[in-house]
Amino acid sequence: MKIEYLGYEAPQQNVTPGTSVPGATESDTIIVPHRALQGTAMPSVFSTIFPSSGDADLTPHFLKNITHAFCYMHEIVDSAISVPHTLRSAEQMANRGSKLWHSKSQQLVHPQQEDFYSHATTALNPQIATRYWA
């Protein structure tokens, strides 16, 4: 089978940003929300776990569009990223929490202590007043 390419550069050979196709199940959607700058654009698979199919106001078309729109809301870049900003921020916050836990867990007292979790929360909180949003 002969495949004709539109050009030799990666952006010319990839799908356009926002391209979506139905997934393997009714609740799955495969979206390429971003533009490939180098190489091949990797699609993201999104599964809707809520709402049920009985919710008329949340159609698959609406969910695809809002998911694609969230991919443009990253706080550092104004172009689309491969996943919605809320997922990216949650991942970065979880990584930060995990690193904090591993760095401070040796300094914490034995977990049999009654106030272990309040002590751990106090130990893991930053010493200066900050707000960190990945």
Residue closest to 121 by CA, chosen among 104, 133, 134, 96: 104
Give the torsion sign (CA, 85, 87, 90, 96). negative
Residues 6+ apart with CB under 8 A from 109: 116, 119
Q: Block means of pLDDT (10 residues each) for the chain, length 134 residues?
A: 62 79 84 81 83 68 86 84 86 87 70 69 70 54
pTM of the model: 0.61
Give the chain's end-to-end CA distance (angstroms, integer): 46
